[in-house]
Chain A
Amino acid sequence: MHDTDVRDHDAAPSSRPDGSPRSDFGVTARGLGKRFGDLWALRDLDLAVPVGSVLGLLGHNGAGKTTALRILTTLSIPTEGSATVAGFDVAAHPGEVRSRIGVTAQQATVDGLLTSRANLEMVARLHHVPAAEARRRADDLLERVDLTDAATKLAKTLSGGMRRRLDLAASIIAKPSVLFLDEPTTGLDPRSRNDLWDMLRELVRDGTTLLLTTQYLEEADRLADEVIVLDHGRTVAIGSPEDLKTRFGGDRIEVTVATASQLDATAAALLEFSSGNAAPSVDRESLHVAAPIAEHARLIDIVRALDAADIDAVDINRRLATLDDVFLSLTAPAHSHDRVGDTESQEVPS
């Protein structure tokens, strides 16, 4: 769906003062694929991330998220297709790409035997930031990620959340124009997660292009301008979170009844309104009946139908589908026939 954009960009003739080719896109990929042995970990990935926006790669373990990220950050060579980051082709100009990106891998990539400050200074120096400036930036960032007290502690002694924040600080110390984060909040407690999200929003506001992978729909929903849903290496959906919810999730109706004996009657009543005549799901524990509803269905008609069936509804709730609903409907086993010859995909070890 981004083919034209990508081509226009590749032909961009002029360049910016800092040397990167003029481009409206922080990241582009066309037909990107990676094969390990007989297994395609990633296939036909097309994407275009406008500068200063956030793309979320959403998928289960083994969906190809990390593979895509490793290719875009020059750590892995694609089997087919091409990609640009900050205007540079990742295969032809890896050095140019590396000097403009920040990367936070799934596994924290800080040096455990160095102090927090030494870690940041080292990364800055390797980005060719002068020593005094590196020190200044390190101290600034330590304060920003709330690690000032841990500045002289060895990184290996930090908690998981602290190490993540140090890792992120290391990724942004050279002021990258594109930031890549692989499951940035996996294993973080809710509070650290919220803090990290706030930091990321701030970076994006300042013009950083952000590409993140996540298994959490909530994370994609909160941060991403656009989401690509990957399943077994293939793109199964692409669009804004809102867009995906309307296109694939549709509206949902949830009815809570007073007694379990009314559940089946409720399901029968809702069937009439359900989109594609999908059977409503019944939760006998919480006395919920839920169904995706057809676009033209009116809430008042549903209420009348329930009333006609003599159902004592405690609560009726019409809501937009969440990304969870989208994800489940896109990657459910019912779709497995789409994935020919792709049986035992698994996350490629990094």
Chain B
Amino acid sequence: MTATATPTTTSPPSDAPARIEATSPASHSRLTWLFADTLVYTRRHLAHIRQIPEKLLDVTIQPIMFVLLFAYVFGGAINVPGGRYKEYLVGGILIQSLAFGVVGPATSIATDLTEGVIDRFRSLPSSRMAYLLGHFLAELLGLALSIVILSSAGLIVGWRTHTNILHVGSAYLLLLVFASAVIWLGTLIGLKVRAPDAVMGIAFVGVFPLTFLSNAFVPISTLPTALEYVAAYNPVSVMVAAVRELFGNPTAPITKHVWPLEHPVLAAWSWSLLLLLIAAPLALRRFQKVTTD
């Protein structure tokens, strides 16, 4: 614990910032501590999941139910031009599950904020950044597990990829980046609402229409014209289309010629990175704000 201590820190407050810089340990050791502290917090969140495995239901069992429901119940009634519905479906369910991934981080952050434990963390020498990063990492592991489970369920019901390893790999990378963006968005929501109970409602009202007013489950050409435009510009549609293209799954013909849908992979990367680059700094800033008084 004396790693951050130096013998010359008695400077008067006026030149304090400069002295902190001058006397702080080498930056690599600060980064090392940030990394170490992050892992401590990650382990904490994973321990929570061990205690309450139900926390993972929404990213594990629920998507499997959707796979089965659409593959065997609704799927027969939905016609996808140029392909099998089971192959069409997996891209949609992957994105929908990840989009619902806002609920987990939002709930756990809001819960931490309502409990005294956050004050304990704040009075510790580890950085607040480490707390948020640890939280992020644990949630990302949860969503990665969800991706694995969904892909396996897809393979079982007959989903296959038809592109090379590079494309499939980049599809999964895109999914992970999208998941990261969703987690930071969820973190931001959790920091804003500060009430765990409110999170579910907010997420449901936001995510549910976004995922269903898209091409996730039905080709958007089947929608009424007005909704067809909404769905065509819906970022969820872009994400789904990109994943289908990278997997070589049927994408259904485009009826509304909007730029994002015609260049789904580029648009999907842009959307994901944009969301990530906006949500993460906002969440960090919000966290500083709500934990300072």
Contact = CB atoms under 8 A, between A and B. Distances in A.
Given A21-B10, A126-B40, A127-B1, A105 B119 contact: yes
Contacts of B116: 105, 107-110
Interface stretch (A73-81, A203-211, A318-326, A332-340): A73-81
B226 interface: no
B13 A99 contact: no
A350 B117 CA distance: 12
B79 interface: no
A89 B16 contact: yes
Nearest to A74: B123
Interface stretch (A90-98, A189-197, A216-224, A276-284): A90-98
A129 interface: yes
B105 to A, nearest CB: 16
Nearest to B39: A125
A107 B124 CA distance: 17
B13 A118 contact: no
Nearest to A73: B123
Interface in A9-24: 10, 12-13, 15, 18-21
B124 A98 contact: yes
Given A70-B293, A110-B120, A15 B10 contact: yes
A103 B5 contact: no
Contacts of B13: 82, 89, 91-92
Interface string B17-36: 00010000000000001001
A112 B119 contact: no
B123 A75 contact: yes
Given A109-B116, A113-B48, A154-B51, A88 B9 contact: yes
B52 interface: yes
B123 A93 contact: no
B119 A103 contact: yes
A70 B285 CA distance: 21
Given A93-B16, A103-B119, A118-B47, A98 B7 contact: no
A126 B121 contact: yes
Contacts of A112: 115, 117
Contact of B47 (A13, A19, A20, A114): A114
Nearest to A108: B116
B56 to A, nearest CB: 14
Interface in A57-95: 70, 73-77, 82, 87-89, 91-93, 95
Interface residues of B, number: 39
Nearest to B47: A114
Interface string B239-250: 000000000000
Nearest to B19: A92
A162 interface: no
Contacts of A76: 292-293
B3 A128 contact: yes
B4 interface: yes
A225 interface: no
B44 A109 contact: no
B164 interface: no
A98 B117 contact: no
A101 interface: yes
Q: Interface centre among A92, A111, A126, by most B CB within 10 Å?
A: A126
A28 B6 CA distance: 21
Given A15-B10, A19-B2, 15 more contacts: A13-B10, A15-B8, A15-B9, A21-B9, A70-B293, A91-B13, A99-B5, A99-B125, A103-B120, A112-B117, A114-B44, A118-B47, A123-B120, A126-B125, A127-B126
